[in-house]
Amino acid sequence: MTNYMPPKVWEFEKASMGGKFGGINRPTAGARHTQNLPKGDKPYQLYSLNTPNGIKVNIILEELKVLGLLDYDAFKINIMAGEQFGTGFVDINPNSKIPALVDYSTDTPISIFESGAILLYLAQKYDRFLPKDSAKNAQTLSWLMWQMGSAPFLGGGFGHFYAYAPEPIEYAINRYAMEAKRQLDVLDKHLTNNQFVVGDEYTIADMAIYPWYGALVLGKLYVGQNDYANYDASQFLSVHEYTNVISWAKSIQSREAVKLAENLSLRPIGE
């Protein structure tokens, strides 16, 4: 039980943050320093990091590259060094979060941010991984939005308090562990009779969900050591219970484009 009592008005300057990301974020938006972004010679320029949200976009880019439809340059945005707050990155993503993509294949360059938006943009542009059938299309969009709405509970909620907070807070961990398991159960029940998230068709819904929930059940997410304990989310959440999610995740993991996406080499923007 903590002795903390919320003040009548929250003030950033008086707030005790701590933890792995405590010194990075502020309650204000915008650039903090001047830093131009490099640009390669490919039609697409990706500025990202190999986090779950970054890997989503890596996957569709690699899937489309395997099909011979596009090529791209990939640059690393070091969020621990605050590179997401440089002027160049803020110009293409005012929210200062990875990933961000610039499409130079058009007459006027197009910047896209938010991983779900990038998936949808590329799927629509190349007419791939988004079903034409109205019912399947609606289902794909529904599961894409499910992931976008649910993952913050898994990442910013469970993952943060379980692995990154400066101290373990029982209520927060229990609250988000319960929600993470509920979400896994939603997905597991849905996959009972489905090869992919949308029946037998591989879509952007799979690409969006795999780097979060697939990585979790495969033991890739929130495994390590913090200031007070070793942590292993797959063991803590008993992910072995979600057999359908595990089978689905293994099938996605085996795709050549996904293997390339998970190990994508990103060039530092300082080079």
Position 16 scores a pLDDT of: 82
Q: What is the mean pLDDT of residues 119-136?
A: 98
Q: Is 86 helix (H, G, I), strand (E, B) or coil?
A: strand
User: In the CATH scheme, what is the code of domain 134-262?
Assistant: 1.20.1050.10
Position 270 scores a pLDDT of: 79
Are 24 and 75 within 8 A, CB to CB? no
pTM to 2 decimal places: 0.96
CA–CA distance, 144 with 148 (Å, rounded to integer): 6
Position 19 scores a pLDDT of: 80
Q: What is the mean pLDDT of residues 35-54?
A: 98
Share of the chain above pLDDT 90, in %: 92
Nearest Cα to Cα of residue 147 among 232, 209, 210? 209
Are 202 and 67 within 8 A, CB to CB? no
CA–CA distance, 217 with 101 (Å, rounded to integer): 28
List Cβ neighbours of 69 (8 Å cut-off, separation of 6 or more).
Answer: 126, 128
At residue 1 the predicted structure's pLDDT band, cuts being 50, 70 and 90, is low
- Span 64-89, pLDDT tens digits: 999 999 999 999 999 999 999 999 99
CA–CA distance, 99 with 115 (Å, rounded to integer): 6
Are 190 and 197 within 8 A, CB to CB? yes
**Burial classification of residue 227, based on how many CB atoms lie within 10 Å of its CB (0-12 exposed, 13-18 middle, 19 or more buried):** exposed
Nearest Cα to Cα of residue 182 among 141, 139, 224, 146? 146
Position 2 scores a pLDDT of: 64
Q: Cis peptide leading into 99, omega within 30 of 0?
A: yes
Q: What is the mean pLDDT of residues 125-138?
A: 98
What's the whole-number average pLDDT of the chain? Answer: 96
Query: Strand pairing of 267-268 and 72-76?
Result: parallel
Position 3 scores a pLDDT of: 80
Share of the chain above pLDDT 70, in %: 99
145's tokens: 């939005």
Strands (E), 44-123: 44-48, 72-76, 100-103, 110-113
62's tokens: 């690699």
Position 17 scores a pLDDT of: 82
The domains of the chain are located at 134-262
Q: Is the pLDDT of residue 258 over 80?
A: yes
Instruction: Give the number of other CB atoms < 10 A from CB of residue 220.
Output: 16
Position 187 scores a pLDDT of: 98
Q: At what angle do helices 115-126 and 134-152 cross, to 10 degrees?
A: 160
Q: What is the mean pLDDT of residues 1-19?
A: 85
At residue 138 the predicted structure's pLDDT band, cuts being 50, 70 and 90, is very high
Position 230 scores a pLDDT of: 95
| Cα dihedral: 222, 239, 176, 229 (round 10) | -40
Q: Is the pLDDT of residue 23 over 90?
A: no
Position 21 scores a pLDDT of: 82
Q: What is the mean pLDDT of residues 212-221?
A: 98
